[in-house]
Amino acid sequence: MKFRLLTGIFVITFTGLLSCGSKTETPKKDTVSDTTAQDKTATKNEETIPLDDANSVDPNSSPENAVKAMIKAGKTGNYEQLGKLCNNAIDMDGDAKDICGLAEGKGNKEEYNDFFGNASIKATRIKGNMAEVDIKTTAEGGEEETIILEQKDNKWYLKGL
């Protein structure tokens, strides 16, 4: 009788242990993660993309993102993001100051839109805290231009054209 009772307890315990540990699931990784106030990044296909306070791509996070913000402003006529590319601690040339003025409602918006509205990035070169981004525009017969950016406090700002 004791033997049957012990055998029954053993079988039930063994069966329970097998069923508990046999299938473990690992949580699936989302392609885009939630952001918090401290961590302003999103993950897209395993690439981390910095976000700004409005949870859109931070134009200061890379030279390419800065120029993409400039091109987007030319396409949409929304110049708000251009203000983020300006820093008074950066020694900007006249063209850069004119672009920064657009964020404040100053300057020739039509000329800016014609120049940057259909531009495309061709190459980027980074050396230390300086970057050059080559673009090609459809203005004036497909003019090529180099945009110069400077990094300060881990953010990229417009320096000149």
- 61-85 pLDDT, tens digit each: 999 999 999 999 999 989 888 999 9
Alpha carbons 113 and 139: distance in angstroms, whole number? 9
| Residue 25 CB-half CA count within 13 A | 3
Q: Return the CATH number of the domain spanning residue range 41-160.
A: 3.10.450.50
List, for residues 101-136, the tens digit of each pLDDT value: 988 888 888 888 888 888 999 999 999 999 999 999
d(C-alpha 1, C-alpha 142), whole Å? 96
